[in-house]
Amino acid sequence: MKTTTISIRHGAMLAILASALAASSSHASDDKALQQAAEKEGQLVVYTANQLESEQDLVAQFNKEYPNIKVEIVRAPGGRLATRIETEVAAGKLGADVIDMSDRGLVEGFKQVFADYSPPNADKYPDSLKDIPNVWPKTVWGFVIAYNAASGVEPPTSWADLTKQKYHGKVATVVANSGGSTWTRALFERKVVSDDYWEKLAANKPVLYPSGAPAASGIVRGEALVGGVQSNSVIPMVREGAPIKVVYPKEGIPVTASVAGIVKDSKHPNAARLFMNWALSEKGQSAWVKNGGGFSVMEGAPLPEGSDASTRIWIPDSKEYTTLRNDWLAQWNKIFGVH
């Protein structure tokens, strides 16, 4: 197992760096040196838009391998995190070593804070997500459909099913402008599922929720019986025995790929690098998919429990994501009668 990991890393290094040939012979010892330097620093601070407990689980897996590095987490949703980062950067008081944002559009405003960084296995990550330099899809999560299994409701198999008469008044829907990932979901619904999906869903009188958490708990409580919810909150709930089940709808899963990088003036640059290398490695990505309820866009990464090769991940076009946002959200609000 160990040798395979190392050989994958070799390949990656070769592909990325011109100096890889010279470096590769001493690669294993480089890893050792990085670990030692990181352990000397002893800690790092991560600013993340991932769910808190989900990130804590990931850190716990990291600490199994590197118990001497304490990872402190500041967690906030994307918009709030961006405001905080921009203000701290302007005042020269950025407190983060690693930043893990959810919303690509928001990172544009402060992409200069990231240090030059690519993980050893950089070539395993899709080129479409390399439009912003130095940041990587550390944590990817998406909207799946959950249904209340205890209620005996017939499980849907697709997003289109949610517009059927039999689910009238029983669909949980998070308002589209709750955040970046709900916008991704709405964009997916209209671009991939069908042009008039919003109108059809609105006509089915869904129960609206202000954010993902009450929607998931609404389905658990049976207030709504089916609906799209975030995988990283709902899959861990299923594992703990919630009376719900997850469906990977056949049209695909609209995902939000996080935008994570190391901060330029980081006080713990080696610890930050070690954490990022690990999180983006096969081990880190498997831990994230298994424990965090997420997906991975890394080549050869495992799929979450219950999904199979036919499960498709949908990543929005970053241009459309930004340019359509305000207009389409206003239309969404109108169609669903939010105000």
Partner 1 sequence: MYNHSTRLSAYRVTWTLLLLAILGFLIIYPIFMLGVGAVSTGGPTASEGQISFNAFLQVVHDPNVLRVTWNTLVVCAGGTIIAVIVGLFFSWVTARTNTPFAKIIEAVSIMPLLIPPLVAGVAWSILGSPQTGLLNVLLAGIGLDVKVNFYTPTGIIIIFGIYYAPYVYMFTASAMKNMDPSLEEAAAISGVSTFKTIFQITLPLILPAIIAGSMLSFVVMLGIYGIPATLGTPERYTVLTTYIYELLSSAPADYNRAAATSLILILVTALAVIAQQQVLKGKSFVTVAGKAFKPRRIDLGGWRYVTFIVAVIYLFIAVVLPMGALLIGSLRKFLYLPNAAAVFDMSAYSLGHFQRLFSNSLTTLSLVNTLKIGVTTAIAGGVLSFVLAYTIYRTRLPFRRLIDIISTLPIAIPGLVIGVAYIWAWISLPGGIYGSIWILSLAFVARFIPDTVKSLSTSLLQVHSELEEASLICGRGRLYTIKKIILPLIAPGLISSMSLLFILAIRELGSSLFLYSSKSLPMSVLLVNLYEGGDFGVTAAFSVVQTAILVIVVLFTTWLGRTMSIAK
Sites of contact with partner 1 (CB under 8 A):
45, 51-54, 56, 72-80, 82-84, 86-88, 90-91, 93, 95, 103, 105-106, 109, 148, 150-151, 175, 177-180, 183, 207-214, 216-217, 220-223, 229-230, 233-234, 237, 240-243, 325-326, 329, 336-339
Residue 300: partners with Cβ closer than 8 Å, 6 or more residues away = 124, 282
Least distance to partner 1 from the beta carbon of 56, Å? 7
Sign, CA dihedral 319-322-328-329, equals positive
Residue 302 is classified by DSSP as P
Nearer to partner 1, 51 or 118 (CB): 51
Sole residue written with tokens 């998070």: 174
* DSSP-derived pairing of the beta strands 259-262 and 244-247: unpaired
Nearer to partner 1, 32 or 80 (CB): 80
Least distance to partner 1 from the beta carbon of 303, Å? 22
Least distance to partner 1 from the beta carbon of 6, Å? 33
Angle at 178 between CA 228 and CA 335, to 5 degrees: 75
Least distance to partner 1 from the beta carbon of 170, Å? 9
Least distance to partner 1 from the beta carbon of 147, Å? 12
Burial (Cβ within 10 Å: 0-12, 13-18, ≥19) of residue 224: buried
Per-residue CA distances from 191 to 112, 198, 283 (Å): 32, 11, 34
Look up residue 225 and give its two tokens. 């019986």
Least distance to partner 1 from the beta carbon of 178, Å? 6
Nearer to partner 1, 68 or 87 (CB): 87
Look up residue 119 and give its two tokens. 């993980």
Nearer to partner 1, 77 or 302 (CB): 77
The answer to whether residues 122 and 12 touch, using CB atoms and an 8 Å cutoff, is: yes
Nearer to partner 1, 70 or 283 (CB): 70
Nearer to partner 1, 136 or 336 (CB): 336
Helix (H), strand (E), coil (C) string for 39-108: HHHCEEEEEECCCHHHHHHHHHHHHHHCCCCEEEEEECCHHHHHHHHHHHHHCCCCCCCEEEECCHHHHH
Nearer to partner 1, 80 or 250 (CB): 80
The whole-angstrom separation of Cα 129 and Cα 295 is: 15
Least distance to partner 1 from the beta carbon of 304, Å? 16
Measuring CA to CA, which residue among 121, 140, 138 is closest to residue 304?
140
Nearer to partner 1, 12 or 329 (CB): 329
Least distance to partner 1 from the beta carbon of 134, Å? 20
Look up residue 74 and give its two tokens. 């500041």
